[in-house]
Structure 1
């Protein structure tokens, strides 16, 4: 009877998430990543989408605001000004992924990078809706998170924030939430940066309604670090970066699952590093998408590559908000380090 109940629950949510047709590789990745909702008592589903939600915290940080930030309240405009918000600054939303929090060390590093650039920073913490191992529930809860974050977005624009100066940065499932925010706006967002957008159960969706897609913003940038594993393989941005090949990062050690998780999280660190220092990275066009690179190689160079032709293609590229808005295509870039942003299993 216990197995029957679990099967029924899983079938219901799988159907809702359009996940009935899975390959053996998909099942293996889900099982190893802890994404199957086998312990249903820990899982939390919001089937009624009311905003604001007590399960989602939108916290404002500003260069001149409280160090711990302040929770925004759409019913109290003073929360904006108590938090140090200025309509004259650029604004960034930062949204974590599955089983994450807004205070994870990687997200704090990214938050501080944007604060160093004089941005208003709004972190979106939806941790009660995305607990481990409840991946299927988390997929459904992305809808409420997107809806409530769109409410905050509208709140900001009502009080003077300019669309062209707002960026949504999302990691993993957070990248898809960024895309879904535009479903609730009268005018789609201007800029989205997707950090290794989540792959499990997403790539098989036929509809773009509940995933990051090209029509969600005027400018979409995607940074791939674990493409084809925990991160999506498709180039879903106008500008796509394959960092160090885009699949497995050379700085990640251990078993294959740990290396994938480490690679997946490093997308946050790479953007933070680029944002802190206005840094440029060496790269070449990768028209065929991300590549498997062996050993210490970080760019697609082989013994058959003409060194003069390769040198003619090599150039420096900005990543993140410093990249030109009209940049297009897929670029393989070389990031030779992952300092100040260590990956842990915690």
Structure 2
């Protein structure tokens, strides 16, 4: 079996033609990991595999792991501008070589979400769509934050708003999962429940790619709510994630206690890497 994974050579002007795998009829998905990530590492690899398994896409991954290693988070924040500049230059080259940018969606997690927005400032075309997965909050300068002006459609999924993730509205449509702040299934998992909530935005996005698992969100208040569930606004529910209509706008809420994209049976749809092991007070473990 021929290897499907290839590294783009930016010096080779006809790379798209020579690779033999690029299909201009498919939607292009550009995935950008967050702090302490990298190509072929968790959690972004879950989303990569979901796109490959559950649809027909050209999947591109930006590996900037060498510029985002712990413990230097401030350095990683600083480096997203350089990553966006280089990625934008590459996209311009690929566009000249035949890449259809009218079908390009940038999906970024945490710092990667803001990187998607900064890429928009470094290309001479309008980005089709950006999906921000719990865009990072700490130390992000105002001029580097993802906003609705960065693409024709900017959709944001909030799972840890106000802590690791941005609290305010960031896109045309903002989806608040379980209030957008802390995910209930992240309690008693044996590590930081805030970080768990932040990371699991990727599993919600991966889940949206499977037709049997896609969730609908109800219109709700202008920002991710706190306290008891608010009353829903009058409006039409919207699909969460990959299949959100491009014209969707406003804030939407989803409430669920289920772990997203975690298979309910050994052969069921999902990815076991999205399943958490709970640690009860007695110290024993259970799924």
Q: Is the shorter-chain TM-score for this pair beyond 0.5, marking a shared fold?
A: yes
Report the TM-score when normalising by structure 2. 0.84
1:230 to 164, 176, 184: 164
For the 8 Å contact 1:280–1:316, the answer to whether it is kept is no
1:111 to 25, 29, 48: 48
Deviation at 1:282, TM superposition (A): 3.9
For the 8 Å contact 2:189–2:276, the answer to whether it is kept is no
Deviations 1:28-59 (A, max 9, x none): xxxxxxxxxxxxxxxxxxxxxxxxxxxxxxxx
1:101 to 38, 41, 45: 38
Tell me whether 1:213 sits opposite 2:213 in the alignment: no
Deviation at 1:250, TM superposition (A): 0.8
1:200 to 138, 146, 151: 138
Consecutive unaligned residues in structure 1, runs of 5 or more: 1-63, 295-299
Hey, what's the Cα distance between the residues in 1 that align with 2:30 and 2:46? 14
For the 8 Å contact 1:169–1:175, the answer to whether it is kept is yes
| Cα pair distance change 1:119/1:133, threshold 3 Å | same
Aligned-residue Cα RMSD (Å) equals: 2.4
For the 8 Å contact 1:265–1:343, the answer to whether it is kept is no
Deviation at 1:218, TM superposition (A): 1.2
Which residue is equivalent to 1:127? Answer: 65
For the 8 Å contact 1:66–1:83, the answer to whether it is kept is no
| Cα pair distance change 1:293/1:315, threshold 3 Å | farther
For the 8 Å contact 2:47–2:202, the answer to whether it is kept is yes
Hey, what's the Cα distance between the residues in 2 that align with 1:66 and 1:276? 25
Deviation at 1:279, TM superposition (A): 4.2
The 5 Å alignment of 1:31-50 reads none
The 5 Å alignment of 1:12-31 reads none
Whose radius of gyration is greater, 1 or 2? 1
Deviation at 1:255, TM superposition (A): 8.1
The 5 Å alignment of 1:257-336 reads 258-277=192-211, 279-292=213-226, 300=229, 316-335=237-256, 336=258
Instruction: Tell me whether 153-162 or 249-258 shows the greater mean CA deviation.
Output: 249-258
The SS at the match of 1:245 is: helix
Report the TM-score when normalising by structure 1. 0.70
Length, aligned pairs only: 263
Which residue is equivalent to 1:20? Answer: none
Instruction: Tell me whether 225-234 or 268-277 shows the greater mean CA deviation.
Output: 268-277
The SS at the match of 2:74 is: helix
Hey, what's the Cα distance between the residues in 1 that align with 2:151 and 2:190? 34
Hey, what's the Cα distance between the residues in 1 that align with 2:190 and 2:253? 22
Consecutive unaligned residues in structure 2, runs of 5 or more: 263-270, 278-287
Hey, what's the Cα distance between the residues in 1 that align with 2:200 and 2:107? 14
Tell me whether 1:184 sits opposite 2:118 in the alignment: no
Deviations 1:1-28 (A, max 9, x none): xxxxxxxxxxxxxxxxxxxxxxxxxxxx
- Hey, which of these two has a bigger chunk of helix by percent? 1
Instruction: Tell me whether 331-340 or 109-118 shows the greater mean CA deviation.
Output: 331-340
Hey, what's the Cα distance between the residues in 2 that align with 1:278 and 1:175? 26
Deviation at 1:78, TM superposition (A): 5.0
Which residue is equivalent to 1:16? Answer: none
